[in-house]
Amino acid sequence: MALDRLFNVARKEFSDHITSRRFIIILGLFLVISAIGMHSGIENYNTMLESYSLQLQHMQDLEGPYAGWMPEKPSIMLVFSSMMGYMTMLGGILAIAIGFDLVSKEKETRSLKSLLSHPVYRDEIINGKALGGVGALGFAMALALAIALAMLLLFSVVPTLDEFAAVLVFGAVSLGFLLAYFAIALMMSTVAKESGNALIYTLVIFFAVSSLLPMFGMMAANAFAGDPPEPPQMPRMPQEIVRTASSGGYFTTSVSQSVVYGGTEDPEWKAYEEEMKTYIEKRRLISDISSLLSPQSNYQTIAIAVTQPQIFSMMQSPYDTAPEETTGLAGALGKVWMNIAALIVFPSAFFAATYVKFMRMDIR
């Protein structure tokens, strides 16, 4: 494979994408909606920041058991969590839109035959197409992040170095998510003879992995974990702690859960708590395994770990009363390594399948 030929294909594909009406419209819509979301996110952030400043001032007056307690400073990453929701919907559509007819259109217009008659190998063509698509999605992501950062600066919010790193990681993870759907679309474009069919196949997979799979995961978790343990029959008023974590995603509810339990020295209650803990672990294990096959679930899990580490900690250990120590960005990413691996493996598998199919494709 020669790089000059590969880049020739990639350059042309990239240029086609970023000048296509379809790409511009969807990207424009995505950027506008993101910007509106970002705007309200920045307002919320500023409100929280004011509240934080007030709390800090009040801290000096506090005495007794709460003396020395420090409120947590809000992070600008909260602003980016709003982008996650748009990414799973419009971002996915953008990725599908640029990939579903990459090969099928060439078959329909017979330009593939013309192209292949020139000195270029098939692998250079398919890799160039993939590279051009990745470049276009990278361009879209970079544009979205640049606008987001520009808006932050416009509102006089300057991210710290750590926050900036988190923004970049968020961008990389979002790009990984987009690549998952781009890879599906490219695969279907190679398999299908017509672009219309390629689009339908891609949408079917899109909805299957984004909605059906997590749903089946929950059903499987319920079926395999059985009924939750019954609490002991004794009248009591335990100290209830209710913790809720919500992903806010469009398509999945797999990471949403509410856990209510009591804390007591009573041995029966302690046993109940242990059973409940085991039950929840079992359910989550089954649900998590099925979620690994869903780019949406993986993306949301990673994005929450990056943008909202506290909420992510609560989701990870819903029955722990003591808040987990903040471990930083690397620590947060370390906890979701399986999701990161899944988000890499998913598009890689589809790209590999596309490659094999394209290399063997009948071009009569």
Partner 1 sequence: MIRTENLTKVYNGKTAVDGLDLVVGEGEIFGFLGPNGAGKSTTILMLTGMIEPTGGRCFVDGIEVAKDPLNVKKIIGYLPEDVGFYGNMTGEQNLDYFARFYGMDARARKERIAELLELVHLDGVAQKAGEYSRGMKQRLGLAQALINDPKVLFLDEPTANLDPEGVREYRELVEHLAGEGKTIFVSSHILSEVRVVCRTVGLLAKGKLAAQGTLEEVARALAPADGDAVRIVVETREHLPAIDDPAVIDIERNGNRAVVRAKADIRDRLSATLFEQGLHVREMRLEEPEIEDVFMAAYRR
Residues engaged in binding partner 1 (CB under 8 A): 4-5, 8, 12, 16, 19-20, 106, 109-121, 362-364
Strand, coil or helix: 318 = coil
In the complex, the smallest distance separating the C-beta of residue 1 from partner 1, rounded to whole angstroms, is: 11
In the complex, the smallest distance separating the C-beta of residue 118 from partner 1, rounded to whole angstroms, is: 5
Q: Which residues, 6 or more positions from 21, have their beta carbon under 8 angstroms from its beta carbon? A: none
In the complex, the smallest distance separating the C-beta of residue 163 from partner 1, rounded to whole angstroms, is: 41
Among 332, 345, 38, 342, residue whose Cα is nearest residue 169: 332
Nearer to partner 1, 60 or 117 (CB): 117
Nearer to partner 1, 126 or 333 (CB): 126
Dihedral, 32, 37, 39, 45 alpha carbons, nearest 10: -160
Specify burial of residue 126 (Cβ count, 10 A radius: 0-12, 13-18, 19+). Answer: buried
In the complex, the smallest distance separating the C-beta of residue 340 from partner 1, rounded to whole angstroms, is: 37
Neighbours of 53 (CB within 10 A): 12
Nearer to partner 1, 135 or 238 (CB): 135
In the complex, the smallest distance separating the C-beta of residue 305 from partner 1, rounded to whole angstroms, is: 41
Among 9, 286, 299, residue whose Cα is nearest residue 135: 9
Nearer to partner 1, 58 or 110 (CB): 110
In the complex, the smallest distance separating the C-beta of residue 132 from partner 1, rounded to whole angstroms, is: 12
Can you count the helices (H) and strands (E) in the chain?
15, 2
Nearer to partner 1, 219 or 359 (CB): 359
Specify burial of residue 12 (Cβ count, 10 A radius: 0-12, 13-18, 19+). Answer: middle
Nearer to partner 1, 132 or 309 (CB): 132
